[in-house]
Structure 1
Amino acid sequence: MAPEALLVDDPRVEHHFIDVGHGIRYHYQLANPRGHPAATVLLLHGWPDLAHGWRFQVPYLLTLGCRVVIPDMLGYGQTSAPDSLAQYSMKNMSDQMMQLIRAVGGSSSSPVVVGAHDWGAFLAWRLAMYHPELVRAVFCFCVPFTPPQPVVLPLEDFVKKNPAFTYQLQNAGPEAEALASQSPAHLQGFLNAMFGGVTTDGLPGFDPYVGLIPENLLKVQRSPLVTPEVLKHYVSEYSRNGLRGPMNWYRTRSINGEDELPLAKDASEFLFQVPAMLIMAGQDAALTPDLADGQEQFFAKGLKKGVIPEASHWILIHCPEECNRHIGEFLSELLGRD
């Protein structure tokens, strides 16, 4: 049986907004436990998701006595979706998360635990590099740490070396955005496809080696991983600003590369100084478990690693009980509990 999930309009969650400059406003959800919090946990979602992607983890974290902060990431939901690609750089978004952390009471004397999935995980590792004083620990799903590189590798060259990421070319260009934005039905088909839905003939609407498959988009059935209520919520939230913002995360490779050149100078000696955990999904076609090999070398205080063999890329909602168990064990050790 799956653990308890937040409802779309769950009364345990407060909704807040914070302005972070440059005309950007973040929407975030806040859930408080009874009594004094044992820790504050900031949860960062990936693509294409929302804060609600953590619906199975938030109630569980509350039972552990944690205060939980879950933003819609830049470009998503009720958060601003600026056209400027520079605002989507890892450096700028780390600074935006810094302001959110401080707004909820995080500081160098009271750092937060950061949990993340997919693109949120990539950002979480960078946040812990740019603002280590605000990060108490990090746990990530599906995306290992990638050290900053001294040379900016174009996306086309990256894909040639890693064909399972071919979909990123479609996302970075205009095609995927245009396909999914043609109509509300296309948007729903896009979301169904991304969450693993297939046609009545068992054909996918998305393949990481290709991207979105236009002829299947309107034929894809609802994924068993999402309820009709959740799908309706996602369609509504994605209708606010379209897909330009979510796709912009794929259009910043050169911007991130330039930003990270100073970090790359010391990359060979860099070590995270906080406890960390990385959990991979055994059935993720692009982010395969072997990508976590050798990750221990980047962590001064050790790295807890694990794989959930039956999990797809949507590990948080596909295998929520196993995810929560890993989170619980990690936080128990972190907080010094039995």
Structure 2
Amino acid sequence: MAPEAVLVNDPKVEHHFIDVGHGIRYHYQLAKPQEHPAVTVLLLHGWPDLAHGWRFQVPYLLTLGCQVVIPDMLGYGQTTAPDSPAQYSLKNMSNHLAQLIRAVGGSASSPLVVGAHDWGAFLAWRLVMYHPELVRAVFCFCVPFTPPQSSVLPLEDFVKENPAFAYQLQNAGSEAEALVGRSPAHLRGFLNAMFGGVTVDGMPGFDPYVGLIPERLLEVQRSPLVTPEVLEHYVSEYSRNSLHGPMNWYRTRSINGEDEIPLAKVTSRFQFQVPAMLIMAGQDPALTPDLADGQEIFFAKGLKKGVVPEASHWILIHCPEECNRYIGEFINELLKRD
């Protein structure tokens, strides 16, 4: 039986907004424990998800005495969706999150824990690099740390070296965005396909080596991982601003590369100075567990590693009990150190 999950519009969760400048406003959820929080945990979702993607983790973190903060990331849900890809650089978004952290009580004297999945994990590693004073510890699912590079590798060349990420070319272009925007039925098909739904013949609507498969999108059946209520919530939220914002994250490879050239020059032997955990999904076709091999060299305070063998990329909702167990062990070990 799956652990407790927060519901859509659950009364245990407060909804807030914060302006971070340049016309950008973030929507975030806030869940508070009954007693004074032992620690605040900031949870970052990936693509194509929402804050609700952490629905199985929030109640569990509350039982640990944690205050939980979950934003809709830039371009998603009720958060502003700028048109320009330049707004979605990891450096810009790290600065946005630094403002959110300070707004919920995080500071150099009271840093918080960051947890993340997918694109949120890629951002989390950068957040810790750009604002180390605000982060007490970090745990990520599915995405290992990639150090900044001294030169820019275009997306096309990256995909040639890593064909399991060919879907990123489709996302960075206009094809996928236009396809999903054709109708509400196409949007539902997209979401079901992304969360593991298949056609009646068992064929996927998404393949990481290809991307979305247009002729299957309207034939994809309901995802086994998402209830009808949750799916309708996602359809409603994605209908606000289309997929342009979420797809902009895939249009930033060169932007991020240019941003990080100076960072690479001063961090050639970089090591995180906070406790960290990295959990991989055994059935993720693109972000395979072997990508975590050798990660220990980047962590001065140690790296707790794990694999959930049966988990798909959607590890947080596919195997929530295992994820919560890892998170609980990590948080409890952290609190014992203090």
TM-score bin (small chain): over 0.9
TM-score (norm 2): 0.99
Distance 2:326 2:271 in 1: 23
- What is the 5 A alignment of 1:136-147? 136-147=136-147
What residue is the counterpart of 2:36 in the other structure? Answer: 36
What residue is the counterpart of 1:310 in the other structure? Answer: 310
Distance 2:42 2:128 in 1: 12
TM-score (norm 1): 0.99
> How large is the RMSD of aligned CA atoms in angstroms?
0.9
Q: Tell me which amino acid in the other structure corresponds to 2:328.
A: G
Q: Tell me which amino acid in the other structure corresponds to 1:189.
A: G
Q: SS where residue 73 of structure 1 aligns?
A: coil
What residue is the counterpart of 2:174 in the other structure? Answer: 174
Over 2 Å off, 4+ runs? none
Q: For structure 1, which segment, 19-28 or 263-272, has the greater mean C-alpha deviation from structure 2 after superposition?
A: 263-272
- What is the 5 A alignment of 1:258-297? 258-297=258-297
Distance 1:87 1:131 in 2: 18
Distance 1:36 1:3 in 2: 24
Displacement after TM superposition at 1:266 (Å): 2.5
Distance 2:86 2:210 in 1: 27
Displacement after TM superposition at 1:269 (Å): 1.5
Q: SS where residue 269 of structure 1 aligns?
A: coil
Distance 2:329 2:203 in 1: 38
Q: Tell me which amino acid in the other structure corresponds to 1:191.
A: L
Q: Tell me which amino acid in the other structure corresponds to 2:175.
A: E
Deviation string for 1:138-174 (max 9, x for gaps)? Answer: 0000000000000100000000000000000000000
- What is the 5 A alignment of 1:146-157? 146-157=146-157
Distance 1:265 1:320 in 2: 39
What residue is the counterpart of 1:218 in the other structure? Answer: 218
What residue is the counterpart of 1:110 in the other structure? Answer: 110
Distance 2:84 2:251 in 1: 10
Distance 2:269 2:146 in 1: 14
Distance 1:41 1:279 in 2: 17
Q: Tell me which amino acid in the other structure corresponds to 2:172.
A: A
What residue is the counterpart of 2:203 in the other structure? Answer: 203
Displacement after TM superposition at 1:85 (Å): 1.3
Displacement after TM superposition at 1:268 (Å): 2.2
What residue is the counterpart of 2:320 in the other structure? Answer: 320
What residue is the counterpart of 2:135 in the other structure? Answer: 135
Distance 2:189 2:269 in 1: 45
Unmatched tracts of structure 1, length 5 or more: none
What residue is the counterpart of 1:19 in the other structure? Answer: 19
Q: SS where residue 10 of structure 1 aligns?
A: coil
Distance 1:196 1:238 in 2: 18
Q: SS where residue 305 of structure 1 aligns?
A: strand
Q: SS where residue 291 of structure 1 aligns?
A: helix
Distance 2:293 2:173 in 1: 31
Distance 2:232 2:66 in 1: 29
Q: SS where residue 336 of structure 2 aligns?
A: coil
Displacement after TM superposition at 1:267 (Å): 2.9
What residue is the counterpart of 2:91 in the other structure? Answer: 91
What residue is the counterpart of 1:65 in the other structure? Answer: 65
Aligned residues: 338
Distance 1:204 1:178 in 2: 19
Displacement after TM superposition at 1:43 (Å): 0.1
What residue is the counterpart of 2:165 in the other structure? Answer: 165
Q: What percent of counterpart residues are identical? A: 86
Q: SS where residue 335 of structure 1 aligns?
A: helix
Unmatched tracts of structure 2, length 5 or more: none
Q: SS where residue 247 of structure 2 aligns?
A: helix
Distance 2:119 2:205 in 1: 21
Distance 1:267 1:20 in 2: 28
Deviation string for 1:57-89 (max 9, x for gaps)? Answer: 000000000000000000000000001211100
Q: SS where residue 277 of structure 2 aligns?
A: strand
Deviation string for 1:269-302 (max 9, x for gaps)? Answer: 1110000000000000000000000000000000
Q: SS where residue 188 of structure 1 aligns?
A: helix
Q: SS where residue 185 of structure 1 aligns?
A: helix
Q: SS where residue 196 of structure 2 aligns?
A: coil
What residue is the counterpart of 1:3 in the other structure? Answer: 3
Distance 2:192 2:22 in 1: 34
Displacement after TM superposition at 1:16 (Å): 0.2
Q: Tell me which amino acid in the other structure corresponds to 2:211.
A: G
Deviation string for 1:92-139 (max 9, x for gaps)? Answer: 000000000001011000101000000000000000000000000000
What residue is the counterpart of 2:183 in the other structure? Answer: 183
Q: Tell me which amino acid in the other structure corresponds to 2:272.
A: F
Distance 2:144 2:267 in 1: 15
Q: SS where residue 126 of structure 1 aligns?
A: helix
What residue is the counterpart of 1:227 in the other structure? Answer: 227
Distance 1:334 1:275 in 2: 8
Deviation string for 1:12-44 (max 9, x for gaps)? Answer: 000000000010000000000011100000000
